[in-house]
Amino acid sequence: MPPFFTEGQTNNLMKKSLLFLAFLLPAFAFAQQINTLTGTISEEVTTEPLANIAIDLVRPDSSYVSTKTNEDGSFTVDLSEGDYAIRFEYNGYKYMLGPYKVDQRLVSLGGIPYTSKQADEFRMNQENIPTISGETDLKDEGGQNVSSALNASRDPFLATASFIFSNARFKIRGYENENFTTFMNGIPVNDLEDGGTVWNQWGGLNNVMYNRENSVGLQPTTFTFGGVGGAYALDSRASKQRKQLQVSYAAANRNYRHRLMATYSTGMLKKGWAVTLSASRRWAEEGYVAGTFYDAYAYFVSVDKHFGSNHSLSLTIFGAPIRNGRSQAAVQEMYDLAGSHYYNPNWGYFNGKKRNANVGNVHQPTFILTKDWKINNKSSMMTSAGFMFGKRSVTALDWNNAPDPRPDYYRYLPSYYSEDPTLQAIVEKELRDNVNARQINWNNLYEANAMSWETIDSVNGIAGNSVTGKRARYIIENRIQDTKRFNIANVYNNNVSDHVSVTAGLNYQFQITRNYKEVQDLLGADFYVDVNQFAVRDFPDSFSVAQNDLNRPNRTLKEGDQFGYDYYSYVHKVGAWGQGVFKFNKVDFFVAADLSFTTFWREGKTQVGLFPNNSFGPSERKKFFNYAFKGGVTYKVDGRNYLFANGSYLTRAPYFDNSFVSPRTRNEIANGLKSEEIYSFEIGYNLRTPRVKLKADMYFTQFNNQTKTMSFFHDDLRTLVNYTLTNIDTRHWGGELGAEI
């Protein structure tokens, strides 16, 4: 790989760096007398320390120095003489405490108790607080200990890209979803089959999901080793919620038209209890895309109990039942014929109303039990256990021995008849002028089923057992993932000294998922037959090859019956990680390591006629031992300007979804399956001022030995095919610039 800079460029860069340092030296020479300010911020009622809270020590001229509280709520910062106010944000509210005079070598504020009421009073009555305007630049503090850049602070690029750009399917750094790890109250919530995060599991619960810590890229975290893209930690425990009764209504023109939300939180009560309840309803008879609808609920319950100042227990339960009619991408030709960028081929008129064939449905309740233990003033431990269960499903049209019912099928488009201009013009006019020709024709599907009278012999493989009736040519099928996932995680934090902190963790995850199809709607028919239509066509003389399940051949199906594929995936993962963060006057650095062991296998519940010896029962168990390392350094120019460089090398077990050639039909594992190798590094600059936040960085990431499985309908072969690619190498490099003013 060629170097990023030539030798001449490197020499010029070094010269410029030396000139920059020489420019800074005069400022260092005129250092003022430095004093040390210490204090501890805690809840007044429960005496619970406010850990990892970013605080600013603000002067009357609006310049400030930043730091954050330790696990025991304490902070220590070096300051020049003067008056200071303490400014920090907690539970979504900004607080200002003070003023405090610093005029000695050591100024100890001791314990600083606060309640939400107290904070409200400070916000309403600030006569004694220095005016905060943010106009004056931070003056250099000489050789003092400059505070570190805070990972928990809002990253302007990430905040914008992860939400606003998501509608354009923008991927941060081009990474797939599995490169970002997500935690909820201490447990990982990424899906173990594909590594992604299913965000709609807590959709509609905005009011209780605002407490979060983000780690961007390779930065260190206090809760996990992290992925190459970063890590997110959501803390929805009742004791972390602000005291509130909030009811809100919103109107929108996107996925839903209406949203009603209600949240009640007691805050910390005198006997150490805290309770939070939240619920929401989101709905739309039709979204801005034709044929779509939205029908969603959400519920949330969290109860905390504090036992003295050292122990607390929290139970959180939440879920978000969502049912929505989906849209689907189409070729440009159909958008032009429809005269709309929002053309959706998934629907058609039925009894005068729009009916969508592609409907998603999800409800996966989650239970999380969290135990916090403050061991002493410098160390703490969090242990969390979580259990998630429930189904995700999506409906679709299925057909047998019948024309393709999709209105945008390429054989129905004008471009398919390019060699016959007359016929092409007729097809184009029909599609352009007739909305029913561009959408699913439900009446035709019902009519085809009504006209299909047939006798099926040897039902369930029993000679002489026959069924006569309307055999469905078209049905609506329901593709279901029924998942159960158990997690347990333990994280230990220890602030060894003012300069050294150590974090370590253990975790175990287990997930079992049943993947299957069932008949959702027979569309007026009496039954459907569980056979492979492509095998029937390709092997007309073989009774057994055409069967989806040789254990139940020629099975006739009613609504709600399972058919097609049916298999379980099992994934176990156990890991341990550790991290050390070292902070000094002008330089911070960290090192971290992670070890994990992953095993997974497939268990088929059907004996597929095409693969009778490799589909039913358990597959080979694949096992992978993996390791990861990362580290980084930050140079603190002053309390506002930071330069950083981070790097990592890791191996990662392949995900279940990409490891089997065709998990729906057989136990065959991709040839040469092995762990991915990933190495990444990033360099950048951070600016933090009262009015401007800016981040600029460059990154480079190399993924090696990737495996990907794709399933699709092959037009030439006229059947469903599976392609598995192995030894894929991908390279991601670029730059990011974000500013918030």
Whether the upstream peptide bond of residue 99 has omega within 30° of 0, thus cis, is yes
Sort strands 74-79 and 35-43 into parallel, antiparallel or unpaired.
antiparallel
Please give the single-letter amino acid code of residue 200.
N
H or E stretch covering 116: helix 116-124
For residues 60, 64, 68, 74, the Cα torsion angle rounded to the nearest 10 degrees is -40
Q: How far is it, in rounded angstroms, from Cα 533 to Cα 471?
A: 14
Residue 148: the pLDDT is: 55
Give me the residues paired with residue 589 across strands.
582, 633
Residue 392: the pLDDT is: 95
Coil, strand or helix: which one is 714?
strand
Please give the single-letter amino acid code of residue 338.
A
Greatest pairwise CA separation for the chain in angstroms? 102
pLDDT tens for 51-93 read 777 787 777 655 667 777 877 778 877 777 777 778 777 665 5
Q: Which of 227, 229, 232, 192 is nearest to 212 (CA)?
A: 232
Which residues, at least 6 apart from 692, have a Cβ–Cβ distance to it below 8 Å? 739, 740, 741
What value, to the nearest 5°, has the Cα angle with vertex 327 and ends 324 and 332? 175
Determine the straight-line distance between the first and last CA of the chain, rounded to whole angstroms.
39
Residue 129: the pLDDT is: 30
Q: Which of 478, 618, 663 is nearest to 562 (CA)?
A: 478
Q: How far is it, in rounded angstroms, from Cα 503 to Cα 371?
A: 17
DSSP 214: E
DSSP string, 412-455: GSGGGGTT-HHHHHHHHHHHHH-HHHHS--HHHHHHHHHT-EEE
Q: Which of 351, 333, 400, 711 is nearest to 563 (CA)?
A: 400
pTM score over 0.85: no
Q: Which of 348, 499, 327, 541 is nearest to 438 (CA)?
A: 348
Residue 130: the pLDDT is: 30
Residue 566: the pLDDT is: 96
DSSP 593: E
> Is the CB of residue 544 less than 8 Å from the CB of residue 449?
no
If the chain, 741 residues long, is cut into consecutive pieces of 10 residues, what is the mean pLDDT of each piece?
42 43 38 65 69 76 70 76 75 65 67 53 34 30 46 62 66 89 93 90 89 84 90 90 90 87 91 94 92 95 91 95 93 94 95 95 96 90 96 95 93 93 94 94 96 90 89 96 96 90 95 97 96 84 89 94 96 96 92 97 95 94 96 90 95 94 92 93 89 91 91 75 89 92 86
Residue 740: the pLDDT is: 84
Residue 145: the pLDDT is: 47
